[in-house]
Amino acid sequence: MEIKKCIQFNGHDIFLIPGMNSDFLLYAPTLRTLLKIRDRFALRISENGLSQGVTDKGVRAVVLLLERSLKDAIKPFPMHQRKSKFFHLAIGLTKDCTLGCLYCHANAGKREEMPVELLYKTIHYAFETARKDNLKGINISFAVGGEPTTNWELFTSCIRRIKESEIQYGVSVHLSMTTNGYYGPNKRLFVAEHVHSVLLSLDGSPEIQNYHRPSLSGKESYPVVRDSALFFIKNVRSFAIRATISNHSVKKMPEIVEFFSREFGNQYHLVFEPLVPLGRATVNTHNISEPRQDEFVDYYIQAKELGQKLGIEIRTSAANHRRLVTSFCGAMSIPSFTVTTKGIVTTCERDIEVENFFSVFRNGIACF
């Protein structure tokens, strides 16, 4: 029998997480309990389960401990309180891109774009809904598929239509985008003038960036993206750098912090995310793969401590130290109204082929 990843105890999730040297963590987040156990004991828990009637003495002790934790348990968060006061719209403008990242989750590089009519109807729907439901505003992002600025005409006409609608409906908009920054001064200026929050993908020193994120023709991308970073730091209201961490770069995380500190100072957030084996990363496995979990954790902690000394705030979505979250991401709890280039609606921007979240909408087809 294998060690289970998650076991139920009185309606609470109990996770068994592999650690180092045959250790496991038994983690009961809603019971505020964390235990370090041996792998043999994790196996016994998996075999016996965590019920009151368990006969294994050691496992019974864990059950008693968890029972005592029940009085401090965090109550399930009522769904109606999760309802957002904002409409969350994510637009998939294109599946094309100017870079050829080895690990591209979207497998970008296809000449597939959202038709303008569909784009305008999508924007119209968001504003109509926000007004009808008396929402506080609309959050709009472009985190679906390829690089949103690839078709510059489509991108700028999208922004213009959003700005016109903002005035027409009297509904405020917050625009955010993740971008590869592989473009020149005019485009940087337009982005900085219109987008409130920019997350720039830049994986580290030239050596790391050029290997992870070459141009389509295999050229180095670092010099252009560095210039975008320098410009956005000064000119964008909310700016962060996102570095995807692979098996190649995981041990260099503290070096990346030092390098960015020298290149860019400290007036931005730095987000480290482990590579997710999706899209191109599933076929390029001989060149690149996800980092080992334990290494990511070790080097992330070192990088974070160094960031504190250098005045750079470092984050990762896998560990939020500041608040208790009720869900890992917004896909299930907000949810986001994500429209793909083909007009299919999903709630997760990573679900670009709409395989996981489509069924809440009629066959995944957006009906405007």
Interface contacts to ligand SF4, rule CB under 6 A = 97, 99-101, 104, 106, 108, 146-147, 180, 201, 213
Q: Which is nearer to ligand SF4, 92 or 307 (CB)?
A: 92
Q: Which is nearer to ligand SF4, 88 or 105 (CB)?
A: 105
Q: Rounded to whole angstroms, how far apart are CA atoms 45 and 130?
A: 49
Report the nearest approach of ligand SF4 to the CB of residue 281 (Å). Answer: 10
Q: Which is nearer to ligand SF4, 106 or 241 (CB)?
A: 106
Q: Which is nearer to ligand SF4, 104 or 126 (CB)?
A: 104
Q: Which is nearer to ligand SF4, 104 or 245 (CB)?
A: 104
Report the nearest approach of ligand SF4 to the CB of residue 182 (Å). Answer: 7
Radius of gyration of the chain (CA): 23
Q: Which is nearer to ligand SF4, 202 or 314 (CB)?
A: 202
Q: Which is nearer to ligand SF4, 108 or 288 (CB)?
A: 108
Report the nearest approach of ligand SF4 to the CB of residue 189 (Å). Answer: 20
Report the nearest approach of ligand SF4 to the CB of residue 202 (Å). Answer: 10
What ranges make up the beta strands (E) of 234-292? Answer: 238-245, 269-274
Side-chain-facing half-sphere of 32: CA atoms under 13 Å: 9
Report the nearest approach of ligand SF4 to the CB of residue 280 (Å). Answer: 7
User: Which one, of 12, 17, 7, 18, lies nearest residue 31 by Cα?
Assistant: 12
User: Which one, of 13, 15, 12, lies nearest residue 4 by Cα?
Assistant: 15
Q: Which is nearer to ligand SF4, 96 or 122 (CB)?
A: 96
Q: Rounded to whole angstroms, how far apart are CA atoms 125 and 282?
A: 35
Decide: 183 and 98 in contact? Cβ < 8 Å.
yes
Q: Which is nearer to ligand SF4, 122 or 221 (CB)?
A: 221
Cβ-in-10-Å burial (0-12, 13-18, 19+) of 321 comes to exposed
Q: Rounded to whole angstroms, how far apart are CA atoms 149 and 195?
A: 12
3-state secondary structure of 269: strand
How many other β-carbons are positioned within 10 Å of the β-carbon of residue 281? 22
Report the nearest approach of ligand SF4 to the CB of residue 71 (Å). Answer: 47
Q: Rounded to whole angstroms, how far apart are CA atoms 217 and 221?
A: 10
Report the nearest approach of ligand SF4 to the CB of residue 353 (Å). Answer: 15
Report the nearest approach of ligand SF4 to the CB of residue 351 (Å). Answer: 15
Q: Which is nearer to ligand SF4, 212 or 304 (CB)?
A: 212
Sheet with 313-315: list strands edge to edge: 313-315, 269-274, 238-245, 197-201, 172-179, 137-141, 86-91, 337-339, 345-346
Report the nearest approach of ligand SF4 to the CB of residue 346 (Å). Answer: 17
Decide: 59 and 35 in contact? Cβ < 8 Å.
no
Kindly give the residue spans of alpha helices, DSSP state H, lying in 213-336.
222-235, 253-264, 293-310, 330-333
Structure tokens at 62: 């864990």
Side-chain-facing half-sphere of 263: CA atoms under 13 Å: 22
